[in-house]
Amino acid sequence: MEQETIAQTMLDQLVTDENSQMLKALIPYLSFSGQRILAAYAKTQELCNTLQLFSRPQNDMQICSSRPMNPMELLNDIRKFSYGENRKKLDQAVNMFAMLEMLMTINE
């Protein structure tokens, strides 16, 4: 059976699991008080996991910060999690960087 994946940021992948995603998917089907309790529980669990992640001497997020930043890669990664006006702005920035790279290549 094929497994579907849900787009998540690297941080979300490190601090949430399938169970917490299922709990959050359940929230709209509960009463208001049930929604409030379950939402607070899910977010508290994520906060605890986040604090635990960054309390380690070498956490998994530091792996990314050790390599040089590529603006195009950064913008394309952020774009996966945006929509509407923000996505249009990111597309403009990506196009601008692509033009700059092309101009730099021509000048060389």
Residue among 17, 26, 7, 5 nearest 49 (CA): 17
Query: Is the distance from CB of 42 to CB of 57 less than 8 angstroms?
Result: no
Mean pLDDT of the chain: 85
- 63 pLDDT higher than 60: no
How long is the chain?
108
How far apart are alpha carbons 94 and 30 in whole angstroms? 42
So what's the pLDDT on residue 46? 94
So what's the pLDDT on residue 29? 95
How far apart are alpha carbons 37 and 71 in whole angstroms? 40
